[in-house]
Amino acid sequence: MQISITRGLDIPLAGEPEQSVKASPPIQHVALCGLDYVGIKPRLQVAEGDKVGPLQALFVDKRDPAVQYCAPGRGTVVSINRGARRVLHSVVLELEDSNTQETVFEALSEEQVNRLLREEIVSRLLQAGLWPAFRTRPFSQVPHSQSRPRSIFVTAMDTRPLAADPRVAIRAETDAFAAGLHVMSRLTRGTVNLCTAPEWDIALPDLEGVRIARFAGPHPAGLPGTHIHHLYPVSLNRVVWHIGYPDIIAIGKLFRSGVIDYNRIVAISGASVVEPRLVRTRLGASIVDLTRGQIRDPDSCRVISGSVLGGRAAGKNLSYLGRYHEQVSVIEEGGGRRFMGWTDILPHRYSAARTFKRKTGHRFRFALPTSQNGRFTGMIAMRAFEKVMPLDILPSPLFRALLVSDTDQAQNLGCLELDEEDVALCAFVCPAKIDYGLFLRLNLNQIEREG
């Protein structure tokens, strides 16, 4: 099956990574960041100075204590960082060693996995701390430990700017990836959808309940929201889960080899990076350690865990690789205003609407800074939204409903199918400089509270 997306936008950013894996600098600190988990109410299980190891929970969710958020390595808790209103930002560990794998369970053959009950599979995932790898749609939360999805979506493609090619990581771990898909088929009575790019060329064994869906086109063709919308649209009563390819590999190793695998292949990219490349690092790695010596001018750059469209700034307490991030983006920090900048016709400036005269050509890239080139104003309804929104929804009416918190109308217009990353392109092209992802999350939280 192949689905072609015609609407969207591939932002031509400079600093694409070389698609070959290099060694990572030594990582001394790792962390779990509470802000990575939407809607969680964490209860800490450790204090500063505690020594922790595999299978040890750093915190649990008060609403579902069975879900453990386990330490991403063996080490000592050196800091617990909180923000405004005591929101948990991060629990930081100083690593004792550089081991990225820990054997903690019995290895199982394919036949033994087939004989496992679903409850036994869930129990192992919960103990190993891999349950938070799943996210629900709607709401993008970690699923309840007693829930069962209608379908599971595995994202094995990435169209975000400056991203790594997932095939690089999957080719190196094909057996573990196939084993992880097999485990996924045991967690749902529905279909496991493996979503890939058209150029997918990795041979996998035939697995019952698993189908491959290829998505072609510009970003956001690689987002799970796009895949879910076209293959199994959700509602309050039709809940699906989605999971990324690194966690499928980790789950495959957990069951077939009995090891917890912290390995991650991450793209370090952007115009401000000395050598954009892929590196083999570990879950929750310190971005300070990861980018040491690789940023041209650290004082004038913004380092982002994740993509420039959906990541978060790697600030003081959040300078760690996000749970669901496979890239670190580094771009120039903007802020300065250009006198009569709207009259600038120089070819170094980029405009999605082609407002400026600019260089053309498939390989020309722009070193875009963080500047918005404008200020927040009232919403302006333009066809720009429709040009970058490949889902079968009406973006302008939906955004109006989100801005005034009309949750009934927002549900009717499809907000339950969306996550912040699904509307990031609309915010990028918006002439009013509105962050629609923020308003989407506020409305989703209100819908969840009100049932």
Task: Please check whether residue 369 lies inside any domain of the structure.
Answer: no
Can you tell me which residue has the tokens 């889960």?
241
Same structural domain, 318 and 244: no
How high does pLDDT run on average in the chain?
93
Tokens of 347: 């070819």
The amino acid at 189? R
Same structural domain, 291 and 194: no
Strand, helix or coil for residue 408: helix
Size (the chain), residues: 451
Asked whether the beta carbons of 129 and 247 are under 8 A apart, the reply is: no
Same structural domain, 255 and 283: no
The side-by-side arrangement of strands in the sheet containing 210-216 is 2-4, 210-216, 192-196, 152-155, 240-244, 135-137
Can you tell me which residue has the tokens 């750059």?
301
Task: Please check whether residue 50 lies inside any domain of the structure.
Answer: yes
| pLDDT score at 80 | 98
Strand, helix or coil for residue 395: helix
Classify residue 102 as exposed, middle or buried by CB count within 10 Å of its CB (0-12, 13-18, 19+).
middle
| pLDDT score at 356 | 53
CATH of the domain at 279: 3.10.20
Q: What is the DSSP string of 163-215?
A: PPPHHHHHHHTHHHHHHHHHHHHTT-SS-EEEEE-TT--------TTEEEEEE
Task: Please check whether residue 364 lies inside any domain of the structure.
Answer: no
Same structural domain, 89 and 15: yes
Same structural domain, 140 and 281: no
Q: Which residues of the chain, if any, have pLDDT below 50? A: none
Partnered with residue 267 across adjacent β-strands are 278, 327
Instruction: Return contacts of 441-450, CB within 8 angstroms, 24+ apart.
Output: 441/38, 442/402, 442/405, 443/401, 443/402, 443/405, 443/407, 443/410, 443/415, 444/138, 444/139, 444/415, 444/416, 445/39, 446/405, 446/407, 447/407, 447/410, 447/411, 447/415, 447/416, 448/39, 448/139, 450/407
Same structural domain, 92 and 208: yes
The side-by-side arrangement of strands in the sheet containing 42-44 is 42-44, 57-61, 64-70
Task: Please check whether residue 366 lies inside any domain of the structure.
Answer: no
Same structural domain, 223 and 320: no
Task: Please check whether residue 359 lies inside any domain of the structure.
Answer: no
The number of domains in the chain is 3
Same structural domain, 35 and 143: yes
| pLDDT score at 353 | 63
Same structural domain, 35 and 80: yes
Three-class secondary structure assignment of 266-305: EEEECCCECCCEEEEEECCEEHHHHCCCCECCHHHEEEEE
| pLDDT score at 25 | 92
For residue 404, what are the domain limits?
384-450
In the listed set 230, 261, 292, which residue is the last one of a domain according to the structure? Answer: 261
Asked whether the beta carbons of 118 and 187 are under 8 A apart, the reply is: yes
Same structural domain, 270 and 225: no
Same structural domain, 329 and 291: yes
| pLDDT score at 358 | 52
CA distances from 189 to 138, 151, 152, 209, 299 (A): 19, 7, 10, 8, 52
Handedness of CA 200, 201, 202, 205 (dihedral sign): positive
Same structural domain, 179 and 241: yes
Task: Please check whether residue 85 lies inside any domain of the structure.
Answer: yes
| pLDDT score at 347 | 58
Task: Please check whether residue 350 lies inside any domain of the structure.
Answer: no
| pLDDT score at 178 | 97
